[in-house]
Amino acid sequence: MNKKIVILYASVGGGHFKAAEAIKNYITENYPETETDMLDALKYTNKAIDKIVVKSYVNMARYSPELWGDIYKLSAKQYSVANFCNAVQKLLSRKLFKYFKEQKPDIIISTHPFITEMCAIIKKKGKIDAKLNVILTDYASHRFWELEPEYVDNYFVANEEMKHSMNYNGIPETKIHVTGIPVSPAFLKEYDKSQIYNEFGLSENKKTVLIFGGGEYGLSNIKNFYKGLLEVNEDIQIVTIAGKRIKSQRMFNELAETSNKKVVVLGYTNKIPELMQIADLVISKPGGLTTTEILTSHIPFVIINPIPGQEEENAEYLLNNGVAVRIFNSNKTKPFLDNLLSDEYRLSTLKSVQEHIAKPYSTKNIVEKILCTD
């Protein structure tokens, strides 16, 4: 029987989109008889509010991360804050209902809590009876995700701790599935490493450090981390993902010119799966999807500058499970990395534990669970 599936996300951070995209691509490739549509639901329902929400989050994450952390912590304690503004959600849900009337979905998949709440409001009013499936895109849950749980059919989470926490907060255990966060199949492929080294002008005989220093939200003190990386004793080569911001690209290029190490600075690139396959070390903020890609690729992970809130909780999970290390003080980057890069046992241990904890077939398992339980 053919199904109509709609996959909804919001562009508040790239992870929600990437998770939705991974699910859509898997369904399209493996279930061609299933009709699938993907929508930025927050932008669709109200472009003005979408801009306010996205811009507010970007500005807080970039310039006032502590403020975002305070809001995040407060909302974890009080449902009144976590509701974000129920009146606004109800208003937006009316527009979303028009989309549902057009699409007539059998199955809804949401990768963002605001969108989930809108869908739940519509279900609560009895206007749709589609199954609502929610994919959490971080390594810890939050009250934002847990509103109106009686109208959610399935939650897909990254780990057992999240399942326990959500169950403790009143969500039935039968609704919570520990599958991992969706990841693109590109991270499961085997690539010709020699070809990748040649493409980027890199040596096969040096350790390669991949650093994510750009992104939408930037990093407040990335300059200090980067200087420390450039000064390490070992003759490493560095691939820098500077992101789309021209200001970031210019800064990294200027700093790289002061180093005698081989440095490649890239803006936006779709070659991340290939670059991760040749990386000996990754330095990054612990965003949910980036973390999942690193764990799937089994690369020693150095955490820097997590945004207070969900990224801090991601970092806590990773450190507690021994799959990453963290530089807490950017001024100590050089000695930290000197020690880590020279410790082969520690590096191999990080990779081994990642292999143990990673869930590389998360996308497949989520899709199969959704389709077989509908």
Architecture of domain 186-357: 3-Layer(aba) Sandwich (3.40)
Q: Using CA atoms, how far apart are residues 342 and 332, in angstroms rounded to an integer?
A: 16
pLDDT score of 59: 46
Q: What is the mean pLDDT of residues 102-117?
A: 93
Q: What is the percent of the chain where pLDDT is above 90?
A: 70
Per-residue pLDDT at 55 exceeds 60: no
pLDDT score of 147: 80
> Do 4-181+360-373 and 186-357 show the same overall fold?
yes
Residue 214's CB: how many other CB atoms inside 10 A? 24
pLDDT score of 46: 63
Confidence category of residue 13, pLDDT binned at 50, 70, 90? low
> How many helices and strands, by DSSP H and E, does the chain display?
17, 12
Contacts of 96 (CB under 8 A, 6+ apart): 41, 44, 45, 118, 119, 122
Instruction: Look up residue 170 and give its two tokens.
Output: 């009143």
Exposure b/e, 282-296, CB count within 10 A at least 16 = b: bbbbbbbbbbbbbbb
Q: Is 35 helix (H, G, I), strand (E, B) or coil?
A: strand
Backbone φ and ψ for 270, nearest 5 degrees, come out as -100, 15
Of the two residues 167 and 245, the one the predictor is more confident about is 167
Domain extents for the chain? 4-181+360-373, 186-357
pLDDT score of 48: 45
State in Å, rounded, how far the first CA of the chain is from the last one: 11
- Sheet harboring 237-241: ordered strands across? 262-266, 237-241, 208-212, 281-284, 301-303, 325-326
Of the two residues 236 and 74, the one the predictor is more confident about is 236
Q: What is the mean pLDDT of residues 92-97?
A: 78
Query: If you search the block for the tokens 């929610």, which residue do you land on?
Result: 134
pLDDT score of 96: 87
Q: What is the mean pLDDT of residues 307-315?
A: 89
Q: Using CA atoms, how far apart are residues 211 and 101, in angstroms rounded to an integer?
A: 45
Q: What is the mean pLDDT of residues 318-333?
A: 96
Averaged confidence pLDDT in the chain: 87
- Amino acid at site 274: E
User: Over the stretch 249-305, which tens digit does the pLDDT of each residue have?
Assistant: 999 999 999 999 999 999 989 999 999 999 999 999 999 999 999 999 999 999 998
Q: What is the mean pLDDT of residues 15-27?
A: 94
Per-residue pLDDT at 71 exceeds 70: no
CATH class entry, domain 4-181+360-373: alpha beta
pLDDT score of 82: 44
- Confidence (pTM): 0.88
pLDDT score of 60: 45
Query: Alpha carbon of 257 to those of 70, 221, 252, 260: distances in Å?
Result: 39, 19, 9, 8
Which has the minimum average pLDDT: 18-27, 188-197, 218-227, 286-295? 218-227
Q: Is 131 helix (H, G, I), strand (E, B) or coil?
A: strand
pLDDT score of 243: 87
pLDDT score of 189: 95
Query: Alpha carbon of 18 to those of 100, 170, 288: distances in Å?
Result: 22, 29, 10
Strands (E), the chain: 4-9, 35-40, 107-110, 131-135, 154-157, 176-178, 208-212, 237-241, 262-266, 281-284, 301-303, 325-326
Confidence category of residue 44, pLDDT binned at 50, 70, 90? confident
Exposure b/e, 79-89, CB count within 10 A at least 16 = b: eebbbeeeebb
Of 16, 34, 269, 314, the residue nearest 158 (C-alpha): 314
CB of 118 within 8 A of CB of 57?
Answer: no
